[in-house]
Amino acid sequence: MNHLPGHPHVHWEGDALWMEGVCLAELARSHGTPLFVYSKAAMLSALAAYQRGFTGRKATICYAMKANSSLAVLQVFARAGCGFDIVSGGELERVLRAGADPAKVIFSGVGKTRAEMLRALDVGIGCFNVESEAELEVLNEVASACKKVAPVSIRVNPNVDARTHPYISTGLKGNKFGIAHERTLATYQRAAALPALRVAGIDCHIGSQITDGAPYLDAMDRVLELVEALESHGIHLDHIDFGGGLGIDYNGDQPPAADALWKQLFEKLDARGFGDRHFMVEPGRSLVGNAGVCLTEVLYLKPGEHKAFCIVDAAMNDLPRPAMYQAFHAIVPLHRTADAPSARYDVVGPVCESGDWIGRDRELAARPGDLLAVLSAGAYCMSMASNYNSRGRAAEVLVDGDTASLIRQRESIADQIRGERLLD
C-alpha cells in the first residue's frame, strides 16, 4: 500500500484511492458528491499522541469541537474519554446529545449570553473560560440568581505571536480574545471577591494551525509568571489550560508531534515546579484535520487565455477555508490513469463568486465525470459549511476499518426551507 504524505489512513490500492479498508470511489458512487469522509482510526491515532504526551500526568484533553461538530465525530471522542471545549449553547447541546460528561466541558468564547450561561450551570459544566471583566460580572449575576457557584478560569492574552494566518491568531494584543496580561491580577482578585464564582484555573490560547513549538514555550513562560504572581497573592489555581492550535500537514507543513511538544512543555513545567498541576489542552484541527477528505466530481474543463479551470461540484460553501484564508488543500484523483494527459488548472466550484476556488494552479489529469479528493478536509470545512446559493450541505460518512457509516444525510431543499414562511 502506498500511503499519502500526512495521511497514513489514506492509501493507494492499485490505481484506486482507499481510506482504511474502504474504496473512496465506491463511497462517492453510493452517496453522491460532494461527500465528506472521515477515518476513525486517524482521529484516534492523533488523539493517542496527546495521550502519550500526558502519560503519568493529571490531564484532561478537551476536543475543540468547533473544528468539526458532527455528532458521530463527537461520539468518537466522548467514548475515548475526552472532554470538550465549546463556544456556544448550540455546541453544548451537541456534546450532551453525543453522550459527553458535562463535568468535562469547558465553555470558551467572548460573547456568552445569559441564557447560555444558565444552561451551562444547569447541566453542571466543568469550567467557564472567562474572556472579559464584564463577562465576570454577568456570570456572577446569573449564577447568583440560580443559587449556583460558577467555576471560572480567566483566559489570558499573553501577547505572543503564534506565527500563523492573522485571522486565526488569537494571542496578540490586537485580538478580541482574553484578558490583557497586565490586567490579569486585578481580574482574578475581582473574580475571587465575587460570591457566586469559584476561581478554578488559568487559560491561554494563542492561535490555530501553529507549526512551530516556540510560541507555545513563550506563552507558557508568560502564563507561569502569572501563576506565580497570582499564588503569591493568595489565589490558588487548580488547573492550567494551554489551549490548542497545533497545526497539521496541509502542504508539507511540519508541526511538532503532540507527544514531542508536550515533552518539551512538561520539562519547562517541572523546572518551574508546576508539573503536578491538573493540565487541560484543547486540540481541534490536529485531531480531525487530516482524518477527513471531501470527494467531488469534475463537471467541466474550461480552457482560457490565461487560465484553465477545472469546475467541480464542491464549492466554497462546502470548503470555505481557501476563500476565507487563502488556505491550501491538496487535491488528488480517486483513480490513477497512466495515459491521461495532465494540465494546470484552477480548481473551482459552481458558486457565483470569484472567491469560489478550491485550489490554484494544480497539475491534474482530469476529465468530466472524474472523481477527486480534497485532502485535509476534516477540520473547519463541514463545521463552517453554509447554504450559500441555496446549496444543500454535503453528506458525511465515517469509516471504521472496512465499515462505512452514513453519519449525516445530504441536505435537501426541503431541509433548507423548513423554517421559512411565505407572506399571506
Burial level of 272, CB count in 10 A (0-12/13-18/19+)? Answer: middle
Residue 205 to residue 255: CA distance in whole angstroms: 17
Burial level of 264, CB count in 10 A (0-12/13-18/19+)? Answer: middle
Can you say whether the dihedral through the CA atoms of 400, 403, 409, 410 is positive or negative? positive
The H-or-E segment that residue 279 falls in is strand 278-281
- List b or e across 182-215, with b for residues whose CB sees 16 or more CB atoms inside 10 angstroms: ebbeebbebbbebebbebbbbbbbbbbbbbebeb
62, 294, 352, 381: which one is catalytic?
Answer: 352
CB atoms within 10 A of CB 2: 9
334 neighbors 17 (Cβ within 8 angstroms): yes
Residue 352 annotated among the catalytic residues of the structure: yes
Can you say whether the dihedral through the CA atoms of 310, 311, 316, 319 is positive or negative? negative
Report in angstroms the alpha-carbon separations of 255 from 247, 252, 261: 6, 10, 9
Longest dimension (CA), the chain: 74
Cell of 121: 450551570
Cell of 224: 507561569
Q: Which residues are catalytic?
A: 352
